[in-house]
Amino acid sequence: MSSTHFGFKTVDEAEKAKHVRGVFDSVASKYDVMNDLMSAGLHRLWKRYTVMVADLREGSQVLDIAGGTGDLSMAFAKKVGKTGRVVHTDINEAMLRTGRDRLLDHGFVLPTLVCDAEKLPFPDNHFDVVSVAFGLRNMTHKDVALKEMCRVLKPNGKLLVLEFSKVAKPLEKAYDWYSFNILPKLGQMIAGDDASYRYLAESIRMHPSQEELKALMKQSGFGHVDFHNMSAGVVALHVGIKC
Ligand SMILES: C[S@@+](CC[C@H](N)C(=O)[O-])C[C@H]1O[C@@H](n2cnc3c(N)ncnc32)[C@H](O)[C@@H]1O
């Protein structure tokens, strides 16, 4: 059996998804408040920039993968109008349910689907834009998921990968101190769960760097890939074009 990483731990590949499910089952109800607290609201700006780069039109067909509590799905839905469609998906029912309820509270009725990014239940060449925000890091086979995202995009379609990345060198020490000392404590105080927020800090360190992810996206079928660093590389938006 092959192994992979879950944060800094080595686990059987077959077990990783179960561990990830445990994290998001545990944090789903406090996920939004924790996002605001941990990032001091910055995640809203990172997502706003992602929506701007998506450059959606009335009628666009959009797939939000690992959509969780629905921030991007909701922002996309405002752009595509009545003739467009945003499909809100996630592998985790608790996250998806929290997101669906929130979308309904804001008056958005979107198709909501439990699905694994590694086995997308959509035909080839179907979407204009596919997004995955803070989700790719948690996937067992990132290459398989990226190939699936490429498959379901139309030719010239755009993949947006918003994810934590490698922070600029001068900030490394302060960022590590914050990640390993403050994040788990915040997690414990607000969500009653320090382990999930320790996993967050660890999984960020194990995730490919900006250049490594760019190379992986190219190997997965994207003809053109570029990235935009935000907040000194705390987060990067990778944009892949299927061409
Ligand atoms: C940190 S949350 C991000 C939620 C939302 N996109 C956001 O930006 O706030 C990561 C999400 O990835 C989902 N996820 C993890 N592995 C997945 C997979 N293989 N397929 C689809 N979703 C997955 C988790 O269930 C979780 O909801």
Ligand 1 center–CA 90 separation, angstroms: 6
Which atom belonging to ligand 1 lies closest to the Cα atom of 21?
A: 25
Q: Rounded to an integer, what is the distance from CA 69 to the centroid of its chain?
A: 11
Q: Which of 122, 124, 125, 153 is nearest to 217 (CA)?
A: 153
Which residues are bridge partners to 164 per DSSP?
235
Q: Does 161 sit in the ligand 1 pocket, CB within 6 Å?
A: no
Average pLDDT over residues 13-31: 95
SS3 190: helix
Here the tokens at position 88 are 């809100």
Residue 178: CB partners within 8 Å, gap ≥ 6? none
Q: Does 70 sit in the ligand 1 pocket, CB within 6 Å?
A: no
Predicted confidence (pLDDT) per residue in 58-114, tens digit: 999 999 999 999 999 999 999 999 999 999 999 999 999 999 999 999 999 999 999
Predicted confidence (pLDDT) per residue in 114-123, tens digit: 999 999 999 9
Predicted confidence (pLDDT) per residue in 190-238, tens digit: 999 999 999 999 999 999 999 999 999 999 999 999 999 999 999 999 9
pLDDT cut 90: percent of the chain above it? 100
**Residue 243: how many CA atoms within 13 Å on its side-chain side?**
8
If you take atom 13 of ligand 1, which residue's CA is the nearest one? 66
Here the tokens at position 13 are 């590949």
Ligand 1 center–CA 61 separation, angstroms: 20
Q: Does 68 sit in the ligand 1 pocket, CB within 6 Å?
A: yes
Ligand 1 center–CA 141 separation, angstroms: 14
Which atom belonging to ligand 1 lies closest to the Cα atom of 35?
A: 9
Query: What is the rounded CA–CA span in Å between residue 124 and residue 112?
Result: 19
- The pLDDT, as a whole number, for residue 134 is 98
Q: Does 67 sit in the ligand 1 pocket, CB within 6 Å?
A: yes
Query: What is the rounded CA–CA span in Å between residue 65 and residue 134?
Result: 10
Residue 49: CB partners within 8 Å, gap ≥ 6? 228, 230, 237
Compute the C-alpha angle 196/199/202, nearest 5°. Answer: 160
Q: Does 133 sit in the ligand 1 pocket, CB within 6 Å?
A: yes
Asked whether the CA dihedral 138, 139, 141, 145 is positive or negative, the reply is: negative
Ligand 1 center–CA 6 separation, angstroms: 15
Q: Does 183 sit in the ligand 1 pocket, CB within 6 Å?
A: no
